[in-house]
A and B are shown apart, each in its own frame.
Chain A
Amino acid sequence: MAQLTYREAVAAGIAQEMERDETVAFIGEDVARAGGVFKATVGLFDKFGPKRVIDTPISEQAILGAAMGAAMTGMRPIAEIMFSDFLAVCWDFVANEMSKSRYMSDGQLKCPLVVRTGNGGGSRFGAQHSQSIENWAMAIPGIKVVAPSTPADVKGLLAASIRDEDPVIFFEHKSLYAIKGEVPEGEHVDTLGTAKVVRPGKDATIVALALMVPRAIQAADKLMTDHGIDVEVVDIRTLVPLDMKTISSSVAKTGRLFTVEENPRLCGWGAEIVSIVVDELFWDLDGPAVRITTPHIPLPAADNLEDITIPSVDRIYSKILDVLR
């Protein structure tokens, strides 16, 4: 096992796949010589050169369109959209093009590509550089949606995304880039569509994603220490495909469901999970299923305001305590 940061795991995942497969190439703004604005792709340019690691103009439509055209005709491109907020600029390619070409062509076309993007808040960047938009992506049939919370998952799920035959939107959380964790040595490929129980428990289930996973674990630990409440935490890891088996078996065991979501409340991914659970596991529930989310507001820049907007350890802890008491 090697200790890598989350950002190093990004570069490691890309490097592993580029070494293995000549058709993998990587494009984006300031990703090559500068190693990315989040320094997540440092070293790739030196290793693979300007043919395969390319600095592009600020042309998001061209970036995704080109990635798509290359993917349709035999490559496996990785395209970076620096901040996930900017995906709105080129959303046509996500919402109308790469997600639909396989279907519209009745399987003649395919788009095996990965769109990597920096998602999420916590950096005091304000309303246009901090959003969690995984729920926008989840709403579109035809794309897969991945959002890892640990360095090992970054590497393994990124590799799996690159190998996948469908277009994948890969959300890296900006506030996790600096965290460190064990990553398996040698080739590491994970499986899309698999959630993980990251903290076992018996009294309630928290389902969380990305930055909300470490927060949920901390809240769960505190609930155990302070009140002996034993909460299980499930890291969803990929929203599409969604591993309902893991979520459902946890809820069936604990009888209580909480989702912790960074996306603003309306139509957040948790709403989908809650609705499935209410539909399929209603008689297993011992109480209401509760969503803990960012409120339905744009994100403020000021640190004190941002901190009370995105679900915090304290908020998760108090909410669960309130509901369970």
Chain B
Amino acid sequence: MAKKKTLKNDDIDEKKRLELYNSQYLIRVAEQRAYDLFLENLVKGTSHLSLGQEAIAAGFATAMQENDKSFCTYRGHAHTLARGASVVGVLGELMQRDCGLMRGKGGSMHLTDTSKGVMGSYAIIGAHLPMAVGSAWRAQYMGHDDVATVFFGDGTTNIGAFHEALNYAVVYKLPVVFVCENNNYMEYTPIESITAVKNPAADRASAYGLDSIIIDGNDADEVYRTAQAAYSKARSGEGPSLIECKTYRQSGHSRADPGAYRPDGELDHWKKNNDPITRYRSRLIEFGVKKKIIDDIEENVKRLVDEATEEAKSSPVPPEDILTTNVYANGGWAWRN
């Protein structure tokens, strides 16, 4: 009989595993809450959720060190939370309240918390890849040991900035990790119908002299291990990595997108057979983690998100006098005397 896996014979210890679970679970509950708040008309504007993609954010953030930098897309709530940004700050920003990370000035697509290394979320496709390259250049130039990670979707591999950023990073051997979250869709269009190759990121890697790396993005352990390897490569001066994570977006592209473009049964299939949280929970149990410990994590997360929701709801809308602050470095907006 095969020996039951124990935590001892595994390279990821129980503490890390619980951290990975906690992070994924927090993202799940917070994103579900964001959706509910949207239905209550408390989240204005747009929002792009990472339901189903939690393992990627959790796996990378858990492998990062504190001074590492994250560059996110508009689908950035998960990565911002995974770096430890306050839940009140995130939900408050989605609700455009004064307690929001950016006091309602940026909104859902631009979550930023530099105190946690989240160097912003960007809504113009491709823009943040060269920025991450620049952060890595600064680290190399100034002898810092941080690595920049840039998260983007499958669709983003078709914009010029993706290709320019990769080539540039390789040429200068910069400490940057490019993470493609391949969720099969560019908005409403299946990615394979608009991309020359099957694996939109990995199949382009060879063009830039990089290894083709494809991983199961719904397996937090695999993500975590891959991230660790990429970070140690980057920190030892060996240059960038490009990692394609296969995953699936369980929510709409944005807001109330009903996902009419999905083939019948596809969403159910992923939810039932390949949900990162369900999978990870069973693995914890399989590895002998006590159910009570898992329950406690879940209870704590739910309480945290409930409390954050209440706090955000009771926060006022931003005061009007911040409208013209921080346009320029002197704190104001004056352009003439």
Which of the 9-residue segments B83-91, B135-143, B231-239, B319-327 touches chain A?
B319-327
Q: Tell whether, in the assembled complex, residue A296 and residue B327 are in contact, meaning their CB atoms are under 8 Å apart.
A: yes
Name the residue in A58, A61, A124 with the highest tally of chain B Cβ atoms < 10 Å from its Cβ.
A58
Shortest distance from the beta carbon of B92 to any chain A beta carbon, whole Å: 11
Q: Tell whether, in the assembled complex, residue A60 and residue B159 are in contact, meaning their CB atoms are under 8 Å apart.
A: yes
Chain A's interface: helix, strand, loop or mixed, by majority? loop
Chain B's interface: helix, strand, loop or mixed, by majority? loop
Choose one: A30, A55, A266, A302; the contact of B317 (CB below 8 Å).
A302
Name the residue in B124, B161, B327 with the highest tally of chain A Cβ atoms < 10 Å from its Cβ.
B124
Alpha-carbon distance A247/B163, docked complex (angstroms): 48
Q: Tell whether, in the assembled complex, residue A308 and residue B323 are in contact, meaning their CB atoms are under 8 Å apart.
A: yes
Choose one: B104, B159, B322; the contact of A301 (CB below 8 Å).
B104
Query: With a CB–CB cut-off of 8 A, which chain A residues contact B103?
Result: 302
- Given A56-B194, A124-B107, are A300 and B323 neighbors across the interface (CB < 8 Å)? yes
Interface residues in A89-111 (C-beta closer than 8 Å to B): 89
Name the residue in B110, B323, B335 with the highest tally of chain A Cβ atoms < 10 Å from its Cβ.
B323
In the complex, A86 has a CB within 8 A of chain B: yes
In the complex, B80 has a CB within 8 A of chain A: no
Query: With a CB–CB cut-off of 8 A, which chain B residues contact A303?
Result: 44-45, 96, 317
In the complex, A288 has a CB within 8 A of chain B: no
Which of the 9-residue segments B183-191, B212-220, B273-281, B300-308 touches chain A?
B183-191
Choose one: B110, B193, B323, B335; the contact of A126 (CB below 8 Å).
B110
Q: Contact mask B118-137 → A, CB, 8 Å, 1/0? A: 00001111110000000000
Q: Tell whether, in the assembled complex, residue B124 and residue A126 are in contact, meaning their CB atoms are under 8 Å apart.
A: no
Which single residue of chain A is at the shortest CB-CB distance from B105?
A: A300
Alpha-carbon distance A37/B320, docked complex (angstroms): 31
Q: Contact mask A264-308 → B, CB, 8 Å, 1/0? A: 001000000000000000000000000000011110111111001
Q: Tell whether, in the assembled complex, residue B158 and residue A59 are in contact, meaning their CB atoms are under 8 Å apart.
A: yes
Query: Chain A interface residue count: which class?
Result: 35 or more
Alpha-carbon distance A87/B302, docked complex (angstroms): 42
How many A-B pairs fall under 8 Å by CB?
128
Name the residue in B105, B108, B186, B324 with the highest tally of chain A Cβ atoms < 10 Å from its Cβ.
B105
Query: With a CB–CB cut-off of 8 A, which chain A residues contact B107?
Result: 124-126, 300-302
Alpha-carbon distance A303/B108, docked complex (angstroms): 13
> What's the tally of chain B residues with a CB closer than 8 Å to chain A?
41
Query: With a CB–CB cut-off of 8 A, which chain B residues contact A305?
Result: 104-105, 318, 320, 322-323
Binding site for A on B (CB under 8 A): 44-46, 96, 103-110, 122-127, 155-156, 158-161, 186-189, 193-195, 261, 317-318, 320, 322-324, 327, 333, 335
Binding site for B on A (CB under 8 A): 29-30, 33-34, 37, 55-61, 85-86, 88-89, 123-129, 266, 295-298, 300-305, 308-309
Known: A55-B194, A302-B96. 17 other contacts (CB 8 A): A34-B189, A55-B193, A58-B125, A58-B126, A88-B124, A124-B107, A125-B107, A128-B123, A128-B124, A129-B109, A295-B323, A297-B324, A300-B105, A301-B107, A302-B105, A304-B96, A308-B323
A-B contact pairs, 28 of them (CB 8 A): A29-B186, A30-B187, A33-B188, A33-B189, A55-B193, A89-B127, A89-B161, A123-B46, A124-B46, A126-B123, A127-B106, A127-B110, A128-B109, A128-B122, A129-B46, A266-B335, A295-B333, A296-B333, A297-B324, A297-B327, A298-B327, A300-B323, A301-B109, A302-B103, A302-B107, A305-B105, A308-B323, A309-B323
